[in-house]
Amino acid sequence: MKALRFYGKRDIRLEEIPKPIPKEEEVLLKVTDAGISQTQINEFMDGPFLINSEPHPLTGKKIPIVPSQEYGGIIVADHLGSKNDPVGKMAAVLPLISCGRCEYCEQKKENLCQNLAYRGLLGADGGFCEFSAVKRENLFFTQKRELLTFIEPLAVAVHAAKTVKKLIDLRNSEVLILGAGAVGISVAAYFEQIEGAKVYISEILSTRKAKAKEAGFETLAKKEIKKSFDLVVDAAGTDPITQKPAITEGFAYLKRGAPLLNLGSYFHPVSFVPAYILVNENSLIESMAYDSEDIEKLKREIDNIKTDFSIFIERIPLKDIVNKGYLRAEVAKESFTRLVVEP
Amino acid sequence: MVGEIEKILKEILNDDIKILPKERFDPEESSKNSKFFGIDEDFVFLYNKNLPVEQLYNIKRFLGNFLHKHEEISNNLRQSEILSAELEKMIKTGRDFKENEEFFQNFFSILKNSGYRFALIRNMQTLFNYKIDPFTLKSAVEKLQKKSAISFPFKNGELFGIKRGFHILIIESQTKIDPFDKKVSESKLVWLNTLYESKMGYEIDRLTGLFTRNRFLKDIESSRNISALLINVKNFKNFNEIYTSKIGDKILLELTARLRKFFDICELYRVYGDRFAVLIKNIECEQKIEKFHAYINDTYHIFDPKTKEFISLSPKIETIYFTKVSKEILEKANYGFKKIGKKRAVFEKDIAPILHREQKSLTLLKEALANDLIKAHFQFVKSTDKNGGYFEALMRIEHKGRLLQPGPFISAAKERGLYHKLNLTMLKKAFEASAAMKEKVSINIDIHDILQKNFLPTIEKLAEKFRNDPALLQFEILESENLYDYIPELKEFIRQIKNFGSTIALDDFGKGYSNFSAILDLEIDLLKIDRSLVKNISSDDLAHKILKGIASLCKNIGIKTTVEGVENAKIYERLKEVDIDYIQGFYISRPLPFEIVSRNFSREPLQKGNLI
C-alpha cells in the first residue's frame, strides 16, 4: 500500500509498504481522512521532537513512522477476514496507546502513561497511508465524515475543560482562544456548546479568522482584545511570523488570578519575566492529550456539538501530500484551516 | 543586501515582494492584502500573486539559508572590525596609560557605543560610573568579593560583572549582553589591570590592593601637615598558626575592607605583613580613633571553606597615632608596638618620652664602653658554716663621677646590639679578678649569652689568657620568661661548663618564672633564692616556712643554696634557723671595687668597724 513515512528533519518519503494485517482484537481500517496538523509540520521543519528514533518501549517501533494522529475511515475487515460487525462502519481512530500497567494507567490517567505511545507521533504508525490496523477499543464510531479528523482535537478539548474546571468555573466565563486552527476550533466549539463558556477567538490570519466567523464563533482583532478574560487558551503554539509567542502574549489578556491554558507544543525556549505573572497571581496550566474518561464524555456529548466542521476542511490526495500538504502548510498557511489527506 | 535580494525577486517573480524584519510586520494587517510566510526567526516574506507552493518553498529555503549565512558573516565582520579597533587602542593605551576619568571613558567607549551602562571600580573605589545606580553597583561589587564573575537576569536584560586583579567592571543592559561584548570587555579589563600592575606593581600590595611600604615612604616624603595612624594586629601570628595562612589572608582582607569603609577618603597602606598605616589629612583624630577601635575590633566572622563554617575571631588591634610624620615613622612605630602594651597610643605623648630616655642611656652606654667606664664590683657571698665564700661580679657604669646600676641599660643594649660587648667586658674583669685573688667569682650570664655560638670558646680563651682555675669560676644563669624554651641548649651548655671544671648557679629563683622540675633536670650546682622570698622572713612565718622547705629540699637533692637580700641583723638572725649554704646582702658586704676587695677584706657580717 502507499504510505508517507517520516525519516527525519525535512525527510519524508512517499513509498510502498506492506499492508498491515490485523491481529486479534484489531480491525482493518481503510483510511479515508487523515489531518495534517501543525505538530506534524514542526516535526518536518525542525524535528524530530516527539517522533522516536529509538525503539518504543511498548510497541518496539521507531523511525520511519507514518505520521498523522488525527484520522479515520471505514472498517473493511476484522482479524478473521469476516464481514461481521463492525465491518462497514465509519470510525475515527483514537491515537493514544497506554500500557495499562503503570501507576498512571491504574489511576485512569492514560495520557500520563509512563510508556505512552501515540499513533502518528510516537511509537506507532498514523493515518497517512491506505490501511491501518486498529484495536477495537481505539475506535470512535461516527456517521459524520467531517468528524473523523476532529475527534482527536475534540478529545483534547474535553480533557482541557476537565483540567481547567479544577481551577475555575467555565459556565458563563469569558474565554479567549488564541489560534483558529483545528485545535482552536475544537476547543471553541466544546467550551461554548458543552461547557457554556462565552468564547472569543483571536487569529492573525484573516482567512482562518473568516472561517471561524462563518462557523458562528465570535472573533476579535488584536486591537479589540480587552484585557479581562477569565481564561486564555493558547491553541496557536509557535509561529515564526509572530513577534511574541502566544504563551507569553496570552498573559496580557487575563484578569487577575486567572489562568492561561496551554495546548501548544513549544520545542524552543520561551522567555518571560515570572514576576509579572506572580503579581497578578496568574497561572500557567497545561493539558496534555486525553484519557479514557474524556472519551466516554465525548461519546455522550458529540451529538450536542453543532458546529459544522466540514467548512474548515480542504481535501488533497495522498500522492500530493508533500507539495500540496506539507510544503503548503509551511509557506501558505493562510490558504487553509484544515488540510485532510485522502489516501 | 536584503534590499537587493528583494529587488531581484521582484523582477524574477514579477510581484511586489517584500522581505520585512519581524518587528516591522503586523500579521493581522498584512493578511488583509497579501500573503506571507516566516522565513526564519527574524524575517517575513510577503507576496501577492498565487505562486506555486514548490516555488514558495524553495524561496523560503533559499532565503532562510542566505539570511542565516549573511547574518553570520556580517556578525563576524563586525566582530573583526571591533577587534582590530580594540587592538589599535590597546597598543596606544600601553603608551598613554593615564589615571583619569577621560582615559577610562575612552578606554571602554565600546560599551558606551553599544548602549550599555557600566562602571569601573578599583580597590572598592569607583573610578568611573556611567549611569548605573549606586545601589545596584554596590550590591554587584559586594557579590564580586566572593566570585570572579557574576551574571544576573535583570528585567529583560542582564547585569554582568567581572573582577580581574584590582579591577572590577560592571555592565548593566536592557537586553541580553552579547557574549562577544563580554569577551572584549573581559580582555580589556585584563589589559587595564596588567597596565596598572606594571606601572604601580611595587606600590600595590597583591593581597589587599592597598599601597605598599615603598609607596608609604614615598608619600610621606611628599606630604606636609599630615598625621598618620599605624595599625598592628597583635595576635595575627596566632591565627596563622592555629588555622591556616588562608584564614590569615581572609582576616587581612576583612580588616582591609573595614579600613576602607572607615577611612573612605584616606590613603591606606599595608606597611608590613600584619601592620597597616593610614595617612590622615585633617586632624580631628582622638575621637575618630576611639570609634575606629570599636569598629575594627568588632568580631570577625571568617568563612572556613574546609569546614564550611564561619569562625568567629577577635584580632587584637593596637594603634599608634602620629600627629606628625617623619622619615623614621616605621621604626618608631615598630619600637612603639614593642614597648607599649596600650591599645591606643599617641606617639608624641606615650612613646616619645620613653624613646628619648632610652636613647639617652644608649649614648651613655656607648660612651662608657669607649672610655672604659664599665666597672666590675664584687660582692662577697658568705658561707654559713665556715669563713669561706665567693664573690659575685656586678656591673656598674661610671657616669660623671657617679656609679649607675646597669638595669635600665640592659634591654636597650640588647636591642641595639651592645649587649655582647658589654658582657665581654664584664667577663674579662671577673676572670681577671678571680685569677688575681685566687677566689671563686660568680658571673651573671643569660640565655642570650648561652645561645651565642662562640660563648664557650670565649670563656676558654679568657681562662687561658688570665690563667684561671676553672673551679674558681661560677656562671649564674639569670632566670627569665623564655629560659625554659631552650632546655636542650641549656643542658648542653651546663654539661660543657661542668666538663670545663666550673660550676653553675641559677639566679632569681622565686621571682616568678621558676619551673622546679626543669631545674632538677638541668643538674645545676647552686640555687640562688630571690630576695622577694627573704625580705619578710623576720615577721612572716609562712615566708620563713617556705624558705625552710626550699632549703631542705635542695639539701636532699644535693643542690647548694644562696639566699640574697640579707639586709639586716634581723634577717641574718632568722636565717640561722634555715639550712642554707650561702648568704648575700648588704648586712654581709656591699659590692666593692676590685682594688678594695683584693687588698683587705673582712669576711665577717657587717659591723660598724668594717664598713668601708
Same domain, A83 and A186: no
User: Which chain A positions have a beta carbon within 8 Å of B22's beta carbon?
Assistant: 241, 243
Please state the φ and ψ torsions of residue B278, each to the nearest 5 degrees.
-130, 130
Which three cell numbers, joined as nine digits, stand for B443?
Answer: 658571673
Pick from B32, B51, B57, B174 the residue to mutate for testing the A interface (most A CBs within 10 Å): B57
Contact A334/B36, CB-based, under 8 Å?
A: yes
Contact B31/A328, CB-based, under 8 Å?
A: no
Is the residue at B361 inside a domain? no
Same domain, A115 and A248: no
Q: Is the pLDDT of residue A90 over 80?
A: yes
Contact A333/B22, CB-based, under 8 Å?
A: no
Same domain, A165 and A225: yes
pLDDT value of residue A74: 97
Cα B109 from chain centroid (whole Å):
41
Contact B38/A324, CB-based, under 8 Å?
A: no
CATH of the domain at A58: 3.90.180.10
Picking from B146, B169, B203, the residue at the C-terminal end of a domain is B203
Find all residues with CB under 8 Å of B535, minimum gap 6, and list them. B565, B567, B571
User: Which chain B positions have a beta carbon within 8 Å of A207's beta carbon?
Assistant: 31
**Buried b / exposed e across B357-385, counting CB within 10 Å, b at 16+?**
ebeebbebbeebbeeebbbbbbbbbbbbe
Give the chain B residue whose CA is nearest to the CA of A206: B31
pLDDT value of residue B288: 79
Same domain, A138 and A277: no
Residue range A276-298: mean pLDDT, rounded:
95
Find all residues with CB under 8 Å of B205, minimum gap 6, and list them. B211, B212, B270
Same domain, B131 and B228: no
CATH of the domain at B339: 3.30.70.270
Smallest CA–CA distance, residue B64 to chain A, in Å, is 12
Smallest CA–CA distance, residue A253 to chain B, in Å, is 17
Smallest CA–CA distance, residue A249 to chain B, in Å, is 15
The closest CB to that of B32, out of A206, A323, A331, belongs to A206
Distance CA B476, CA B429 (A): 16
Instruction: Please give, one letter per residue, the 3-state secondary structure of A257-326.
Output: CCEEEECCCCCCCCCCCHHHHHHCCCEEEECCCCCHHHHHHHHHHHHHCCCCHHHHEEEEEHHHHHHHHH
Same domain, B330 and B450: no
Is the residue at B360 inside a domain? no
CA distances B516 to B508, B520, B524, B534, Å, are 13, 6, 12, 18
Terminal CA-to-CA distance of chain A, rounded, Å? 10
Give the chain A residue whose CA is nearest to the CA of B28: A204
Same domain, B310 and B185: no
> ipTM > 0.85?
no
Is the residue at A295 inside a domain? no
Same domain, A104 and A223: no
CATH of the domain at A183: 3.40.50.720
pLDDT value of residue B512: 66
pLDDT value of residue B32: 79
Pick from B13, B26, B28 the residue to mutate for testing the A interface (most A CBs within 10 Å): B28
Same domain, A167 and A215: yes
Question: pLDDT tens, A251-271?
Answer: 999 999 999 999 988 888 888
> Which class for B154: exposed (0-12), middle (13-18), buried (19 or more C-beta within 10 A)?
middle
Give the chain A residue whose CA is nearest to the CA of B37: A331
Contact A330/B60, CB-based, under 8 Å?
A: yes
Same domain, B553 and B457: yes
Give the chain B residue whose CA is nearest to the CA of A209: B28
Question: pLDDT tens, A206-238?
Answer: 889 999 999 999 999 988 998 899 999 999 877
CA distances B198 to B125, B195, B238, B269, Å, are 20, 5, 34, 19
Note whether A266 and A238 are within 8 A (CB): yes
CA torsion, ordered A17, A21, A27, A28, to nearest 10 deg? 40
Same domain, B195 and B109: yes
Is the residue at B365 inside a domain? no
Give the chain B residue whose CA is nearest to the CA of A333: B37
Picking from B159, B185, B203, the residue at the C-terminal end of a domain is B203
Contact B56/A331, CB-based, under 8 Å?
A: yes
Same domain, B350 and B217: yes
The total number of structural domains that make up chain A: 2
Same domain, B221 and B338: yes
pLDDT value of residue A260: 97
Is the residue at B304 inside a domain? yes
A204 touches chain B (CB under 8 A): yes
Question: pLDDT tens, A26-79?
Answer: 999 999 999 999 999 999 988 899 999 999 999 999 999 999 999 999 999 998
Is the residue at A215 inside a domain? yes
Same domain, A6 and A144: yes
Range of the structural domain that residue B20 is part of: 2-75
Same domain, A117 and A237: no
Is the residue at B363 inside a domain? no
Smallest CA–CA distance, residue B83 to chain A, in Å, is 31
The closest CB to that of B60, out of A239, A271, A331, belongs to A331
Is the residue at A303 inside a domain? no
Smallest CA–CA distance, residue B50 to chain A, in Å, is 10
Contact A332/B27, CB-based, under 8 Å?
A: no
> What average pLDDT is seen over chain A?
94
Same domain, B57 and B165: no
The total number of structural domains that make up chain B: 4
Q: How confident is the model at residue A99 (pLDDT cuts 50, 70, 90)?
A: very high
A327 touches chain B (CB under 8 A): yes
Is the residue at A296 inside a domain? no
A221 touches chain B (CB under 8 A): yes
Is the residue at A70 inside a domain? yes
Give the chain A residue whose CA is nearest to the CA of B22: A243
pLDDT value of residue A211: 95
Picking from B355, B387, B411, the residue at the C-terminal end of a domain is B355
Contact B38/A240, CB-based, under 8 Å?
A: yes
Same domain, A35 and A119: yes
Distance CA B556, CA B336 (A): 48
Same domain, A44 and A106: yes
Same domain, B532 and B574: yes
Region at B220 (left for phi over 0; alpha for psi -120 to 50; beta for the rest): alpha
CA distances B23 to A249, B42, B268, Å, are 15, 8, 54
Which DSSP string corresponds to B449-478?
A: HHHSTTHHHHHHHHHHHHT--GGGEEEEEP
Note whether A1 and A16 are within 8 A (CB): yes
Same domain, B69 and B106: no
Same domain, B456 and B556: yes
Residue B51's Cβ-side half-sphere holds a number of Cα atoms within 13 Å equal to: 27
Is the residue at B88 inside a domain? no
> Which class for A103: exposed (0-12), middle (13-18), buried (19 or more C-beta within 10 A)?
exposed
**Buried b / exposed e across A159-190, counting CB within 10 Å, b at 16+?**
bbbbbbeeebebeebbbbbbbbbbbbbbbbbb
Note whether A129 and A31 are within 8 A (CB): yes
Contact B57/A242, CB-based, under 8 Å?
A: no
pLDDT value of residue B410: 77
Is the residue at B609 inside a domain? no
Same domain, A7 and A60: yes
Distance CA B435, CA B347 (A): 50
Same domain, B192 and B153: yes
Q: Which residues of chain B have pLDDT under 70?
A: 265-266, 282-285, 512-513, 600-612
Is the residue at B86 inside a domain? no
Range of the structural domain that residue A274 is part of: 153-286
User: Which chain A positions have a beta carbon within 8 Å of B40's beta carbon?
Assistant: 240
> Which residue, B206, B208, B204, B312, is CA-closest to B258?
B208
Give the chain B residue whose CA is nearest to the CA of A220: B28
Region at B501 (left for phi over 0; alpha for psi -120 to 50; beta for the rest): left
A269 touches chain B (CB under 8 A): no
Pick from B25, B42, B48, B53 the residue to mutate for testing the A interface (most A CBs within 10 Å): B53
Which DSSP string corresponds to B515-554?
A: -HHHHHHHT-SEEEEPGGGTTTTTT-HHHHHHHHHHHHHH
Pick from A331, A333, A334, A336 the residue to mutate for testing the B interface (most B CBs within 10 Å): A331
Is the residue at A105 inside a domain? yes
Is the residue at A187 inside a domain? yes
Is the residue at A293 inside a domain? no
CATH of the domain at B108: 3.30.450.30
A25 touches chain B (CB under 8 A): no
The letter for the amino acid at B186 is E
Same domain, A176 and A101: no
